[in-house]
Structure 1
Amino acid sequence: MTDDRRNLFVAYKQEDEVLRKVEPLLELAQNYGFTLVDDYKKANIIASIGGDGAFLQAVRKTGFRDDCLYVGVSTGELGFYCDFHVDDHEKMMTAMDNNQVEVRKYPTLAVTMDHDDSTFYCLNECSIRSSIIKTLVMDVFIDDLYFETFRGDGMIVSTPTGSTAYNKSVTGAVVDPKLQCYQVSEMASLNNNLYRTLGSSFVLSNERKLTFKIEQDNNQYPIIGIDNEALSIRHSESIRFHLSDLVVKTVKLKDNSFWHKVRRSFL
């Protein structure tokens, strides 16, 4: 890496098996001139050890910093956020020594609740569903236009990078992360002679705003998933979404693009 700011914070589970893999990696980092710091706020580079879930947790717990670089290091199979494997020390150092890494910018989704006006950020997706075995009913607005009334298990709003996760499992499209957009996908919508929705995923540009207004009668128990964390939003009346200007900068290998990862993961 050409940047001389080399303060490194490493996020990992305090488990014996993980520690055995992390310790030689930390020693190697110090040998290569990185300074290990205990406070992520003092770091210029934040590395997560684990998998994609660990990466999402690291980004969330360190506040979605846009003034540092994030690095995903896998302890198992390589994922969408992890370009390196924890045991492949030579590959990591060779890549940095020979300038084989680039900076990738991931878009984030901003989610605002009406009940306390709190804004959360998502790197993958936000999902809204009923926490009881009952249909969730929401009016869907695009900008100020009433679009449809959704009845079903719930909805998923995903970033392009999150399009390969929960969104894909409900037959949403895989979206190139270079596109400034976000996607809305249904979970088990009711479509019959009485109720009607679009019945397919749709993609909104970064200039569009999306709002879900939750019907309050018999819908007191919705739950929201923010990436891989769950929050109760009981009694919330509306949830607003837009593609944020906040980006998460990550280190990637030049020969490991998003579409390389899609091919490796699904084909």
Structure 2
Amino acid sequence: MTSMKVAIVQNHEEKSQVVAQKLREMLKKANIKIDDQRPELVISIGGDGTLLSAFHRFNHRLDEVSFLGVHTGHLGFYTDWRDFELEELVDSLSSNRGKSVSYPLLDVRITFLDGKPDKHFLALNESTIKRGNRTMVADILIKDELFERFRGDGLSVSTPTGSTAYNKSVGGAVIHPSINAFQLAEIASLNNRVFRTLGSPIVIAHTEWLEVKLQDSKDYLVTVDQLDIEQDNIASVYYRIADERIHFASYRHMHFWRRVKDAFISEG
């Protein structure tokens, strides 16, 4: 059996740098090849933000690569291993390539009023739309049918794995990542006798798509995970479940609801 090819992505924290160097040395001793260009496995060292960076670095090879997270700080939703478990991790890589579990991604497409080519992105967590310091007004269409006219601070569209991130902080539901759907949550919507929205998060099936049709303005900010996309003349932002999926190496994959409990409920 040929040696597995592994890439390591770490953040700039000193502890993560030290752990990454130690892991590289351990992988070399185990005859596991480091390949930062065409890996089979990407190991993220840091936190969830580091794994998001790793995802965007390799999201053009999602059919060939899986991801694994080592956290060097607080518990993360994408990090199954601790920094003091490197020996066990390397043993797992050496003895068993393991299976993987796959989760949905968000397909994001931005169209423009001036005929510029569409911009296309994949999101692991979420995409948001906001408008400077002014009220954002947008028509929300589901499968090309008008659902509501939104007025407020902005909108968040998230994947199931992203449902525990920004989505949760704006009142969205936590969704198990095995569910192939995405979620729309309003950010401080205006609701009164004149302006009405549903006012609650909605979960949209993988067979449907969402269009956020924006009023003409030059001060919109669209985010895709940690990427900021400031563009003039945005006409619409389209969302759907992507054809691609992210694969996590399941040498040891923590139960999702246990992770939710540890992150938000358990003390200490």
- For residues 29-178 of structure 1, what are the structure 2 equivalents within 5 Å? 29-37=27-35, 39-40=36-37, 42-66=38-62, 67-96=64-93, 102-115=99-112, 116-130=117-131, 132-178=132-178
Give CA deviations for 1:91-140 in whole Å, capped at 9, x if unaligned. Answer: 3235446759541112110011112212100000000011x211000000
Q: Is 1:264 equivalent to 2:262 in the alignment? A: yes
RMSD over aligned Cα, in angstroms?
Answer: 1.9
Equivalent residues of 1:102, 1:254 under 8 A apart = no
Q: Residues 88 and 243 from structure 1, CA distance in 2 versus in 1: closer, same or farther, beyond 3 angstroms? A: same
The alpha carbon displacement at 1:25 in A equals: 1.1
Contact 2:80 2:252 in 1 (8 A): no
Judge conservation of contact 2:153–2:189 (CA < 8 Å) in 1.
Answer: yes
Change (3 A) 1:60 1:82: same
Deviating more after overlay: 247-256 vs 228-237? 247-256
Q: Residues 122 and 227 of structure 1 are in contact (CA less than 8 Å); yes or no, is this contact kept in structure 2?
A: yes
SS in 2 for 1:148: strand
SS at structure 1 position matched to 2:234: coil
Unaligned runs of 5+ in 1: none
Change in Cα spacing, 1:227 to 1:201, as seen in structure 2 (3 Å) is same
Q: Deviations over 1:78-102 (max 9, x none)?
A: 3111111223223323544675954
Instruction: Using structure 2 for the length normalisation, give the TM-score.
Output: 0.91
**CA drift at 1:4:** 4.3
1:206-225 correspondence to structure 2 within 5 Å: 206-216=206-216, 219-225=217-223
Task: State the secondary structure of the residue aligned to 1:250.
Answer: strand
| Inter-partner Cα distance in structure 2 for 1:4 and 1:175 | 38
Contact 1:110 1:122 in 2 (8 A): yes
Q: How far did residue 9 of structure 1 move?
A: 1.1
Residues 197-246 of structure 1: CA deviation (Å, up to 9, x unaligned): 00000000000010000011xx3201011011111132101111110110
Q: 2:236 matched to which residue of 1?
A: 238
Candidates 241, 245, 248, aligned match of 2:246: 248
- From the superposition, tell whether residues 16 and 161 of structure 1 become closer, same or farther in structure 2 (CA, over 3 Å): closer
Contact 2:10 2:50 in 1 (8 A): yes
Over 3 Å counting, the alpha-carbon distance change for 1:184 and 1:24 in structure 2 is: same
Indicate whether 1:19 and 2:4 are aligned.
Answer: no
- The yes-or-no answer on 1:190 pairing with 2:190 is yes
Residues 106, 255 of structure 1: alpha-carbon distance in 2 compared, 3 angstrom cutoff = closer
Between 254-263 and 14-23, the greater mean CA deviation after superposition: 14-23
What letter matches 2:47 in structure 1? G
Per the alignment, in what secondary structure is the counterpart of residue 27 of structure 1?
helix
Cα 1:17–1:79 change in 2 (3 A) is: closer
Q: Which moved more, 1:95-104 or 1:4-13?
A: 95-104
One-letter identity of the residue aligned with 2:125: N
Hey, what's the Cα distance between the residues in 2 that align with 1:52 and 1:20? 18
Q: Identify which range, 8-17 or 242-251, moves more after superposition.
A: 8-17
- The residue aligned with 1:9 is 7
CA–CA separation in structure 1 for the residues paired with 2:120 and 2:159? 16
Is the contact made by 1:11 and 1:49 (CA closer than 8 Å) also made in structure 2? Answer: yes
Q: CA 1:227–1:245 in structure 2 vs 1: closer, same or farther (change >3 Å)? A: same
8 Å contact kept, 1:73–1:85:
yes
Question: What SS is found at the alignment partner of 1:237?
Answer: strand
Q: 1:79 is matched by which residue type in structure 2?
A: G
Amino acid at match of 1:65: R
TM-score by length of 1: 0.91
What amino acid is the match of 1:127? T
Given that residues 103 and 250 in structure 1 are in contact (C-alpha distance below 8 angstroms), is that contact kept between their aligned partners in structure 2? yes
Identity %: 33
